[in-house]
A and B are shown apart, each in its own frame.
Chain A
Amino acid sequence: MRHPIFPLACLIPLTQIVRDEYPISHYPMYSQPTTRELRFQYVAGADDKPLPVVWHTGITPSQIGKKYSRHKAILIAAEEKRTGQDLDDLTGELETKIKSAAGTETLEFLRKLSFKRKADRRLKQSIKLYEVTLGFGHRQFTETQKVVAALPPVP
Protein backbone atom coordinates (compact mmCIF):
# COMPACT_ATOMS: atom_id res chain seq x y z
CA MET A 1 0.00 0.00 0.00
CA ARG A 2 1.31 3.44 -0.92
CA HIS A 3 2.14 5.98 1.78
CA PRO A 4 -0.67 8.53 2.32
CA ILE A 5 1.67 11.34 1.27
CA PHE A 6 2.01 9.83 -2.23
CA PRO A 7 -1.06 11.55 -3.80
CA LEU A 8 0.18 14.88 -2.45
CA ALA A 9 3.66 14.30 -3.87
CA CYS A 10 2.01 13.83 -7.29
CA LEU A 11 1.02 17.49 -7.10
CA ILE A 12 4.61 18.56 -7.68
CA PRO A 13 5.05 17.09 -11.20
CA LEU A 14 1.45 18.07 -11.94
CA THR A 15 2.08 21.75 -11.13
CA GLN A 16 5.26 21.75 -13.21
CA ILE A 17 3.48 20.23 -16.22
CA VAL A 18 0.25 22.21 -16.03
CA ARG A 19 1.95 25.43 -14.77
CA ASP A 20 -0.67 28.21 -14.53
CA GLU A 21 -4.11 26.83 -15.30
CA TYR A 22 -6.47 27.94 -12.53
CA PRO A 23 -6.73 26.51 -9.91
CA ILE A 24 -3.39 24.76 -10.45
CA SER A 25 -0.25 26.85 -10.29
CA HIS A 26 3.48 26.29 -10.07
CA TYR A 27 3.78 29.68 -8.31
CA PRO A 28 6.39 31.30 -10.56
CA MET A 29 6.59 34.62 -8.69
CA TYR A 30 10.17 35.81 -8.10
CA SER A 31 11.55 32.54 -9.47
CA GLN A 32 14.11 34.17 -11.77
CA PRO A 33 16.07 36.81 -9.87
CA THR A 34 18.56 38.36 -12.31
CA THR A 35 20.50 41.58 -12.83
CA ARG A 36 18.46 42.31 -15.95
CA GLU A 37 16.25 45.37 -16.12
CA LEU A 38 12.70 45.18 -14.77
CA ARG A 39 9.77 46.83 -16.48
CA PHE A 40 6.32 47.76 -15.31
CA GLN A 41 3.52 49.97 -16.57
CA TYR A 42 1.17 52.58 -15.17
CA VAL A 43 -1.60 54.79 -16.52
CA ALA A 44 -1.43 58.59 -16.66
CA GLY A 45 -3.74 61.34 -17.84
CA ALA A 46 -3.18 63.99 -20.49
CA ASP A 47 -1.15 66.04 -17.99
CA ASP A 48 1.25 63.07 -17.53
CA LYS A 49 0.22 62.69 -13.89
CA PRO A 50 -0.50 59.09 -12.83
CA LEU A 51 -4.14 58.07 -12.40
CA PRO A 52 -5.44 55.88 -9.53
CA VAL A 53 -6.08 53.04 -11.91
CA VAL A 54 -7.60 50.62 -9.38
CA TRP A 55 -10.21 53.22 -8.46
CA HIS A 56 -10.98 53.77 -12.15
CA THR A 57 -10.94 50.17 -13.37
CA GLY A 58 -10.57 47.69 -10.50
CA ILE A 59 -7.37 46.44 -12.19
CA THR A 60 -3.97 46.78 -10.52
CA PRO A 61 -0.82 48.02 -12.32
CA SER A 62 0.63 44.52 -11.86
CA GLN A 63 -2.32 43.06 -13.78
CA ILE A 64 -2.03 45.82 -16.39
CA GLY A 65 1.61 44.82 -16.89
CA LYS A 66 0.66 41.17 -17.40
CA LYS A 67 -2.08 42.11 -19.86
CA TYR A 68 0.29 44.37 -21.80
CA SER A 69 3.04 41.72 -21.86
CA ARG A 70 0.55 39.17 -23.09
CA HIS A 71 -0.50 41.39 -26.03
CA LYS A 72 3.15 42.18 -26.76
CA ALA A 73 4.10 38.48 -26.78
CA ILE A 74 1.28 37.71 -29.25
CA LEU A 75 2.42 40.52 -31.56
CA ILE A 76 6.07 39.43 -31.36
CA ALA A 77 5.12 35.83 -32.15
CA ALA A 78 3.12 37.03 -35.19
CA GLU A 79 6.08 39.14 -36.36
CA GLU A 80 8.50 36.24 -35.89
CA LYS A 81 6.19 34.01 -37.92
CA ARG A 82 5.93 36.68 -40.66
CA THR A 83 9.66 37.40 -40.95
CA GLY A 84 11.08 34.04 -39.90
CA GLN A 85 13.43 35.89 -37.51
CA ASP A 86 14.00 35.39 -33.82
CA LEU A 87 13.00 38.61 -32.03
CA ASP A 88 14.39 37.99 -28.54
CA ASP A 89 15.67 41.55 -28.25
CA LEU A 90 13.25 44.08 -29.65
CA THR A 91 14.88 47.31 -30.81
CA GLY A 92 14.24 50.42 -32.85
CA GLU A 93 11.16 51.13 -34.84
CA LEU A 94 9.75 47.62 -34.51
CA GLU A 95 9.97 47.82 -30.71
CA THR A 96 8.08 51.14 -30.71
CA LYS A 97 5.46 49.76 -33.11
CA ILE A 98 4.81 46.56 -31.16
CA LYS A 99 4.79 48.27 -27.77
CA SER A 100 2.45 50.94 -29.06
CA ALA A 101 0.00 48.36 -30.44
CA ALA A 102 0.09 46.28 -27.23
CA GLY A 103 -0.24 49.42 -25.11
CA THR A 104 -3.19 50.71 -27.12
CA GLU A 105 -4.99 47.39 -26.73
CA THR A 106 -4.34 47.48 -22.98
CA LEU A 107 -5.60 51.06 -22.64
CA GLU A 108 -8.75 50.22 -24.61
CA PHE A 109 -9.40 47.30 -22.25
CA LEU A 110 -8.96 49.57 -19.23
CA ARG A 111 -11.22 52.26 -20.62
CA LYS A 112 -13.89 49.68 -21.37
CA LEU A 113 -13.72 48.40 -17.80
CA SER A 114 -13.91 51.91 -16.36
CA PHE A 115 -17.15 52.52 -18.29
CA LYS A 116 -18.76 49.67 -16.37
CA ARG A 117 -18.16 51.54 -13.13
CA LYS A 118 -19.77 54.64 -11.64
CA ALA A 119 -19.86 57.72 -13.88
CA ASP A 120 -17.12 59.61 -12.00
CA ARG A 121 -14.70 56.70 -12.44
CA ARG A 122 -14.91 56.53 -16.22
CA LEU A 123 -11.70 57.18 -18.13
CA LYS A 124 -13.13 59.63 -20.68
CA GLN A 125 -10.06 61.84 -20.74
CA SER A 126 -6.93 61.24 -22.78
CA ILE A 127 -4.96 58.39 -21.20
CA LYS A 128 -1.39 57.24 -21.60
CA LEU A 129 0.43 54.04 -20.79
CA TYR A 130 3.85 54.64 -19.29
CA GLU A 131 6.56 52.01 -19.17
CA VAL A 132 9.07 52.29 -16.35
CA THR A 133 12.45 50.56 -16.60
CA LEU A 134 14.29 49.76 -13.38
CA GLY A 135 17.91 48.69 -13.40
CA PHE A 136 20.99 48.20 -11.25
CA GLY A 137 23.47 51.12 -11.17
CA HIS A 138 26.60 51.58 -9.07
CA ARG A 139 25.36 51.08 -5.49
CA GLN A 140 21.97 52.43 -6.52
CA PHE A 141 18.99 51.71 -8.74
CA THR A 142 18.34 53.41 -12.07
CA GLU A 143 14.86 54.36 -13.29
CA THR A 144 13.65 55.69 -16.63
CA GLN A 145 10.15 55.99 -18.07
CA LYS A 146 8.53 56.68 -21.39
CA VAL A 147 5.06 56.71 -22.95
CA VAL A 148 4.40 53.58 -25.01
CA ALA A 149 0.79 54.28 -26.02
CA ALA A 150 -1.94 56.90 -25.70
CA LEU A 151 -5.67 57.13 -26.35
CA PRO A 152 -7.51 60.35 -27.25
CA PRO A 153 -10.42 61.53 -25.09
CA VAL A 154 -13.93 60.21 -25.73
CA PRO A 155 -17.26 61.99 -25.24
Chain B
Amino acid sequence: MSAASATNMKQALARWCRAGFVPQHAHGWEWFFMRLFLAVLVFYSLQEFKPYTFDAQPVPRGVAHFFPLTFLHENGPVDFSSIKRLEIPGALSIRLDGPGWYDTVVLLAAVLGALYVWGRGLIVTLPLLALLHTLPWTYSNSQGFTHHGNQLISMVLIVQAIVVWWWQIRAWRGKAALSVGLAGQLIYYSQGMVAFSYLAGAITKLINSKGLWLWRSNNICIELIKSHRLEFYANLDPNYAGDPPAALWLLNHPWTTRLLFDAGFFVELFAIIALRSRPWALLTGCLIIAFHRSVWLLMALEFPMHEYLLIIFLVNLPYWMWWAAKGRRASSPTAHATV
Protein backbone atom coordinates (compact mmCIF):
# COMPACT_ATOMS: atom_id res chain seq x y z
CA MET B 1 0.00 0.00 0.00
CA SER B 2 1.43 3.36 -0.98
CA ALA B 3 1.86 6.20 1.50
CA ALA B 4 -0.76 8.25 -0.39
CA SER B 5 -3.46 5.57 -0.18
CA ALA B 6 -2.67 5.01 3.51
CA THR B 7 -3.12 8.73 4.11
CA ASN B 8 -6.40 8.71 2.16
CA MET B 9 -7.69 5.79 4.21
CA LYS B 10 -6.69 7.50 7.44
CA GLN B 11 -8.49 10.68 6.36
CA ALA B 12 -11.60 8.71 5.32
CA LEU B 13 -11.63 6.95 8.71
CA ALA B 14 -11.24 10.27 10.51
CA ARG B 15 -14.15 11.74 8.50
CA TRP B 16 -16.25 8.67 9.24
CA CYS B 17 -15.55 8.98 12.97
CA ARG B 18 -16.19 12.74 13.02
CA ALA B 19 -19.61 12.18 11.43
CA GLY B 20 -20.82 10.23 14.47
CA PHE B 21 -19.99 9.05 17.98
CA VAL B 22 -21.89 11.93 19.55
CA PRO B 23 -25.31 12.11 21.25
CA GLN B 24 -28.22 12.31 18.81
CA HIS B 25 -31.66 13.82 19.03
CA ALA B 26 -34.21 11.35 20.32
CA HIS B 27 -37.97 11.11 20.20
CA GLY B 28 -39.81 11.53 23.49
CA TRP B 29 -41.59 8.23 22.95
CA GLU B 30 -38.30 6.52 22.15
CA TRP B 31 -36.84 7.52 25.50
CA PHE B 32 -40.15 6.61 27.18
CA PHE B 33 -40.01 3.04 25.80
CA MET B 34 -36.41 2.71 26.93
CA ARG B 35 -37.37 3.82 30.46
CA LEU B 36 -40.34 1.46 30.47
CA PHE B 37 -38.32 -1.55 29.32
CA LEU B 38 -35.44 -0.78 31.69
CA ALA B 39 -37.81 -0.38 34.66
CA VAL B 40 -39.35 -3.78 33.86
CA LEU B 41 -35.87 -5.28 33.55
CA VAL B 42 -34.78 -3.82 36.90
CA PHE B 43 -37.91 -5.20 38.55
CA TYR B 44 -37.43 -8.59 36.89
CA SER B 45 -33.77 -8.81 37.95
CA LEU B 46 -34.79 -8.09 41.55
CA GLN B 47 -37.24 -11.02 41.50
CA GLU B 48 -34.55 -13.19 43.06
CA PHE B 49 -34.46 -13.91 46.77
CA LYS B 50 -31.07 -15.65 46.93
CA PRO B 51 -29.17 -12.49 48.01
CA TYR B 52 -31.38 -12.24 51.11
CA THR B 53 -30.59 -15.79 52.29
CA PHE B 54 -26.97 -14.99 53.18
CA ASP B 55 -26.33 -13.97 56.78
CA ALA B 56 -22.75 -12.67 56.38
CA GLN B 57 -20.50 -10.96 53.82
CA PRO B 58 -17.24 -12.94 54.08
CA VAL B 59 -15.67 -11.28 51.02
CA PRO B 60 -17.01 -7.70 50.87
CA ARG B 61 -17.32 -6.16 47.43
CA GLY B 62 -18.06 -2.60 46.35
CA VAL B 63 -20.05 -0.61 48.90
CA ALA B 64 -19.97 -3.60 51.27
CA HIS B 65 -16.40 -2.52 52.10
CA PHE B 66 -17.80 0.66 53.66
CA PHE B 67 -20.95 -0.54 55.39
CA PRO B 68 -22.30 -4.02 56.10
CA LEU B 69 -25.18 -5.18 53.94
CA THR B 70 -26.13 -7.99 56.30
CA PHE B 71 -29.26 -6.03 57.22
CA LEU B 72 -30.71 -7.31 53.92
CA HIS B 73 -30.93 -10.73 55.54
CA GLU B 74 -32.98 -9.46 58.47
CA ASN B 75 -36.70 -8.82 58.36
CA GLY B 76 -37.44 -5.68 56.38
CA PRO B 77 -40.17 -3.10 57.12
CA VAL B 78 -42.54 -4.55 54.48
CA ASP B 79 -44.09 -8.00 54.77
CA PHE B 80 -46.08 -9.56 51.93
CA SER B 81 -46.33 -13.01 53.55
CA SER B 82 -50.13 -12.79 53.49
CA ILE B 83 -50.17 -12.19 49.72
CA LYS B 84 -47.19 -14.28 48.56
CA ARG B 85 -47.69 -13.77 44.84
CA LEU B 86 -49.42 -11.50 42.40
CA GLU B 87 -50.66 -13.64 39.55
CA ILE B 88 -52.53 -13.15 36.32
CA PRO B 89 -52.81 -16.71 34.95
CA GLY B 90 -50.89 -17.15 31.73
CA ALA B 91 -49.60 -13.59 31.74
CA LEU B 92 -47.89 -12.51 34.91
CA SER B 93 -46.46 -14.00 38.08
CA ILE B 94 -44.73 -11.69 40.52
CA ARG B 95 -43.23 -13.09 43.69
CA LEU B 96 -43.90 -10.60 46.49
CA ASP B 97 -42.89 -12.58 49.56
CA GLY B 98 -39.33 -13.64 50.31
CA PRO B 99 -36.66 -13.67 52.99
CA GLY B 100 -35.18 -10.58 54.66
CA TRP B 101 -35.62 -7.31 52.82
CA TYR B 102 -36.89 -9.00 49.63
CA ASP B 103 -40.49 -7.78 50.08
CA THR B 104 -39.30 -4.23 50.79
CA VAL B 105 -36.98 -4.16 47.79
CA VAL B 106 -39.75 -5.46 45.50
CA LEU B 107 -42.12 -2.73 46.70
CA LEU B 108 -39.47 -0.01 46.32
CA ALA B 109 -38.53 -1.33 42.87
CA ALA B 110 -42.17 -1.06 41.80
CA VAL B 111 -42.59 2.48 43.18
CA LEU B 112 -39.24 3.84 41.95
CA GLY B 113 -39.66 2.02 38.63
CA ALA B 114 -43.06 3.65 38.11
CA LEU B 115 -41.61 7.09 38.94
CA TYR B 116 -38.73 6.45 36.55
CA VAL B 117 -41.13 5.52 33.73
CA TRP B 118 -43.16 8.63 34.51
CA GLY B 119 -39.94 10.55 33.84
CA ARG B 120 -40.27 13.33 36.39
CA GLY B 121 -37.87 13.86 39.30
CA LEU B 122 -35.19 11.69 37.74
CA ILE B 123 -32.58 13.56 39.74
CA VAL B 124 -33.92 11.78 42.83
CA THR B 125 -35.48 8.65 41.32
CA LEU B 126 -32.46 7.48 39.33
CA PRO B 127 -29.86 7.49 42.15
CA LEU B 128 -32.34 5.69 44.42
CA LEU B 129 -33.18 3.10 41.77
CA ALA B 130 -29.48 2.58 41.06
CA LEU B 131 -28.79 2.12 44.78
CA LEU B 132 -31.74 -0.24 45.17
CA HIS B 133 -30.47 -2.45 42.35
CA THR B 134 -26.86 -2.31 43.48
CA LEU B 135 -27.29 -3.30 47.14
CA PRO B 136 -28.68 -6.87 46.94
CA TRP B 137 -26.36 -7.85 44.09
CA THR B 138 -23.35 -6.36 45.89
CA TYR B 139 -24.31 -8.46 48.91
CA SER B 140 -24.64 -11.54 46.70
CA ASN B 141 -21.20 -10.91 45.17
CA SER B 142 -19.76 -10.50 48.68
CA GLN B 143 -20.17 -14.20 49.42
CA GLY B 144 -16.88 -15.35 47.90
CA PHE B 145 -18.20 -15.98 44.41
CA THR B 146 -18.78 -13.45 41.71
CA HIS B 147 -21.66 -13.42 39.27
CA HIS B 148 -21.38 -11.04 36.35
CA GLY B 149 -24.97 -11.26 35.14
CA ASN B 150 -26.59 -8.24 36.81
CA GLN B 151 -24.00 -5.54 37.18
CA LEU B 152 -24.48 -4.00 33.77
CA ILE B 153 -28.02 -3.03 34.80
CA SER B 154 -26.64 -1.35 37.93
CA MET B 155 -23.99 0.43 35.86
CA VAL B 156 -26.51 1.72 33.30
CA LEU B 157 -28.65 3.12 36.14
CA ILE B 158 -25.60 4.71 37.78
CA VAL B 159 -24.49 6.26 34.48
CA GLN B 160 -27.99 7.64 33.90
CA ALA B 161 -27.99 9.09 37.44
CA ILE B 162 -24.63 10.77 36.77
CA VAL B 163 -25.94 12.22 33.48
CA VAL B 164 -29.07 13.76 35.05
CA TRP B 165 -26.98 15.27 37.84
CA TRP B 166 -24.42 16.60 35.34
CA TRP B 167 -27.30 18.09 33.34
CA GLN B 168 -28.80 19.71 36.44
CA ILE B 169 -25.47 21.11 37.64
CA ARG B 170 -24.91 22.64 34.19
CA ALA B 171 -28.33 24.29 34.47
CA TRP B 172 -27.63 25.55 37.99
CA ARG B 173 -24.36 27.07 36.78
CA GLY B 174 -26.23 28.80 33.96
CA LYS B 175 -24.28 27.10 31.17
CA ALA B 176 -25.63 27.26 27.63
CA ALA B 177 -27.94 24.44 26.62
CA LEU B 178 -26.40 21.68 24.52
CA SER B 179 -27.69 21.09 21.00
CA VAL B 180 -28.89 17.59 21.97
CA GLY B 181 -31.33 17.38 24.85
CA LEU B 182 -31.21 15.28 28.01
CA ALA B 183 -32.99 12.29 26.46
CA GLY B 184 -30.40 12.06 23.69
CA GLN B 185 -27.60 12.36 26.25
CA LEU B 186 -29.10 9.63 28.46
CA ILE B 187 -29.52 7.26 25.52
CA TYR B 188 -25.98 7.94 24.29
CA TYR B 189 -24.35 7.28 27.67
CA SER B 190 -26.52 4.20 28.31
CA GLN B 191 -25.49 2.79 24.93
CA GLY B 192 -21.91 3.73 25.74
CA MET B 193 -22.02 1.97 29.11
CA VAL B 194 -23.20 -1.24 27.45
CA ALA B 195 -20.72 -1.02 24.55
CA PHE B 196 -17.72 -0.08 26.69
CA SER B 197 -18.32 -3.01 29.04
CA TYR B 198 -17.67 -5.33 26.07
CA LEU B 199 -14.54 -3.38 25.18
CA ALA B 200 -13.40 -3.75 28.82
CA GLY B 201 -13.82 -7.54 28.50
CA ALA B 202 -11.73 -7.59 25.30
CA ILE B 203 -8.96 -5.51 26.89
CA THR B 204 -8.91 -7.79 29.95
CA LYS B 205 -8.44 -10.76 27.61
CA LEU B 206 -5.43 -9.06 26.03
CA ILE B 207 -3.91 -8.07 29.39
CA ASN B 208 -4.49 -11.37 31.21
CA SER B 209 -3.17 -13.45 28.30
CA LYS B 210 -0.20 -11.10 27.77
CA GLY B 211 -1.44 -10.37 24.26
CA LEU B 212 -1.72 -14.04 23.28
CA TRP B 213 -5.49 -14.44 23.52
CA LEU B 214 -6.11 -14.64 19.77
CA TRP B 215 -3.49 -17.36 19.39
CA ARG B 216 -4.52 -19.35 22.46
CA SER B 217 -8.28 -19.03 22.03
CA ASN B 218 -8.52 -22.56 20.61
CA ASN B 219 -7.89 -23.84 24.17
CA ILE B 220 -11.32 -22.53 25.17
CA CYS B 221 -12.74 -25.77 23.74
CA ILE B 222 -12.03 -27.43 27.10
CA GLU B 223 -14.30 -24.83 28.73
CA LEU B 224 -17.19 -26.34 26.75
CA ILE B 225 -16.75 -29.59 28.68
CA LYS B 226 -16.44 -27.71 31.96
CA SER B 227 -19.52 -25.54 31.42
CA HIS B 228 -21.51 -28.59 30.27
CA ARG B 229 -20.52 -30.46 33.42
CA LEU B 230 -21.31 -27.47 35.64
CA GLU B 231 -24.73 -27.21 34.03
CA PHE B 232 -25.32 -30.92 34.65
CA TYR B 233 -24.19 -30.88 38.28
CA ALA B 234 -26.39 -27.85 38.98
CA ASN B 235 -29.71 -29.66 38.59
CA LEU B 236 -28.73 -33.09 37.15
CA ASP B 237 -30.47 -32.14 33.92
CA PRO B 238 -30.06 -35.18 31.60
CA ASN B 239 -29.77 -32.82 28.62
CA TYR B 240 -26.28 -31.98 29.88
CA ALA B 241 -25.14 -35.53 30.68
CA GLY B 242 -22.19 -36.66 28.58
CA ASP B 243 -19.89 -34.58 26.40
CA PRO B 244 -20.99 -31.78 24.08
CA PRO B 245 -20.10 -33.11 20.60
CA ALA B 246 -18.76 -29.72 19.51
CA ALA B 247 -15.98 -29.80 22.13
CA LEU B 248 -14.08 -32.72 20.61
CA TRP B 249 -14.58 -31.37 17.09
CA LEU B 250 -13.18 -27.99 18.14
CA LEU B 251 -10.24 -29.67 19.89
CA ASN B 252 -9.30 -31.41 16.67
CA HIS B 253 -9.80 -28.33 14.46
CA PRO B 254 -7.73 -25.66 16.25
CA TRP B 255 -7.62 -23.16 13.38
CA THR B 256 -11.41 -23.19 12.91
CA THR B 257 -11.76 -22.86 16.68
CA ARG B 258 -9.46 -19.83 16.69
CA LEU B 259 -11.44 -18.29 13.87
CA LEU B 260 -14.72 -18.76 15.75
CA PHE B 261 -13.58 -17.46 19.13
CA ASP B 262 -11.45 -14.67 17.66
CA ALA B 263 -14.50 -13.42 15.73
CA GLY B 264 -16.27 -13.09 19.10
CA PHE B 265 -13.28 -11.22 20.49
CA PHE B 266 -13.43 -8.66 17.66
CA VAL B 267 -17.17 -8.19 18.21
CA GLU B 268 -16.34 -7.24 21.81
CA LEU B 269 -13.36 -5.09 20.84
CA PHE B 270 -15.32 -3.04 18.30
CA ALA B 271 -18.57 -2.86 20.27
CA ILE B 272 -18.14 0.90 20.70
CA ILE B 273 -18.91 1.33 16.98
CA ALA B 274 -22.49 1.19 18.26
CA LEU B 275 -22.06 4.85 19.22
CA ARG B 276 -21.41 5.93 15.62
CA SER B 277 -25.11 6.21 14.63
CA ARG B 278 -28.46 4.43 14.93
CA PRO B 279 -27.81 1.92 12.11
CA TRP B 280 -24.45 1.04 13.66
CA ALA B 281 -26.09 0.64 17.07
CA LEU B 282 -28.61 -1.76 15.49
CA LEU B 283 -25.92 -3.73 13.66
CA THR B 284 -23.61 -3.93 16.70
CA GLY B 285 -26.50 -4.87 19.00
CA CYS B 286 -27.55 -7.70 16.69
CA LEU B 287 -23.95 -8.92 16.33
CA ILE B 288 -23.37 -9.02 20.10
CA ILE B 289 -26.69 -10.82 20.63
CA ALA B 290 -25.64 -13.36 17.96
CA PHE B 291 -22.33 -13.69 19.82
CA HIS B 292 -24.19 -14.36 23.12
CA ARG B 293 -26.49 -16.87 21.43
CA SER B 294 -23.55 -18.75 19.91
CA VAL B 295 -21.87 -18.89 23.34
CA TRP B 296 -25.15 -20.25 24.71
CA LEU B 297 -25.27 -22.94 22.02
CA LEU B 298 -21.67 -23.99 22.58
CA MET B 299 -21.26 -23.56 26.33
CA ALA B 300 -24.76 -23.35 27.83
CA LEU B 301 -23.63 -20.03 29.26
CA GLU B 302 -25.85 -17.01 28.95
CA PHE B 303 -26.11 -13.41 30.07
CA PRO B 304 -29.80 -12.64 29.58
CA MET B 305 -29.66 -9.24 31.31
CA HIS B 306 -26.90 -8.14 28.95
CA GLU B 307 -28.96 -9.27 25.98
CA TYR B 308 -32.05 -7.41 27.21
CA LEU B 309 -29.96 -4.24 27.64
CA LEU B 310 -28.65 -4.67 24.09
CA ILE B 311 -32.21 -5.01 22.81
CA ILE B 312 -33.37 -1.94 24.73
CA PHE B 313 -30.51 0.47 24.03
CA LEU B 314 -28.72 -0.72 20.90
CA VAL B 315 -31.31 -2.57 18.84
CA ASN B 316 -34.00 -0.05 19.89
CA LEU B 317 -36.92 -1.76 18.11
CA PRO B 318 -39.54 0.99 18.69
CA TYR B 319 -37.41 3.44 16.72
CA TRP B 320 -36.89 1.07 13.78
CA MET B 321 -40.59 0.16 13.72
CA TRP B 322 -41.41 3.88 13.53
CA TRP B 323 -38.71 4.35 10.89
CA ALA B 324 -40.07 1.49 8.77
CA ALA B 325 -43.61 2.86 9.07
CA LYS B 326 -43.02 6.53 8.37
CA GLY B 327 -39.79 7.73 9.88
CA ARG B 328 -37.94 7.82 6.56
CA ARG B 329 -40.17 10.71 5.51
CA ALA B 330 -40.22 12.44 8.89
CA SER B 331 -37.98 15.21 10.12
CA SER B 332 -35.26 14.84 12.77
CA PRO B 333 -36.63 13.94 16.20
CA THR B 334 -36.40 16.11 19.25
CA ALA B 335 -37.19 14.83 22.69
CA HIS B 336 -38.05 16.70 25.81
CA ALA B 337 -36.88 15.15 29.03
CA THR B 338 -36.59 16.76 32.38
CA VAL B 339 -34.50 15.96 35.39
Contacts and interface: CB of A to CB of B under 8 A. Distances in A.
Interface size class of A (residues with CB under 8 A): 35 or more
Nearest to A139: B252
A74 to B, nearest CB: 9
A33 B53 contact: no
A67 interface: yes
Contacts of B336: none
B47 interface: no
Contact of A22 (B154, B204, B216): B154
A143 B226 CA distance: 10
Main DSSP-derived SS at the B contact region: helix
Contact of B225 (A12, A35, A117, A141): A141
A116 interface: yes
Interface in B150-182: 151-152, 154-155, 158
A66 B144 contact: yes
B290 interface: no
Given A25-B151, A140-B251, A58 B50 contact: yes
Interface stretch (A47-55, A78-86, A90-98, A146-154): A47-55
Contacts of B235: 52, 54-55
Contacts of B54: 113
Interface residues of B, number: 67
B213 interface: yes
A26 B205 CA distance: 9
B62 A21 contact: yes
Contacts, number: 179
Contacts of B188: 4
B22 A141 contact: no
Contact of B216 (A20, A33, A42): A33
A116 B233 contact: no
Contact of B223 (A38, A43, A71): A38
A65 B21 CA distance: 41
Given A11-B196, A26-B200, A66 B146 contact: yes
B229 A23 contact: no
Given A40-B230, A139-B251, A134 B145 contact: no
A119 interface: no
A-B pairs with lowest CB-CB distance, top 6: A66-B145, A27-B201, A23-B154, A42-B233, A63-B145, A31-B208
10 contacts: A5-B22, A8-B196, A12-B199, A22-B134, A22-B141, A22-B151, A28-B204, A30-B220, A30-B223, A31-B204
Given A54-B234, A59-B50, 4 more contacts: A23-B137, A26-B204, A52-B236, A141-B243
Interface of B: 21-23, 50, 53-54, 59, 61-62, 65, 99, 134, 137-138, 141-148, 151-152, 154-155, 158, 188-189, 192-193, 195-197, 199-201, 203-205, 207-209, 213, 216-220, 222-223, 225-226, 229-230, 232-236, 243, 247-248, 251-252, 272, 275
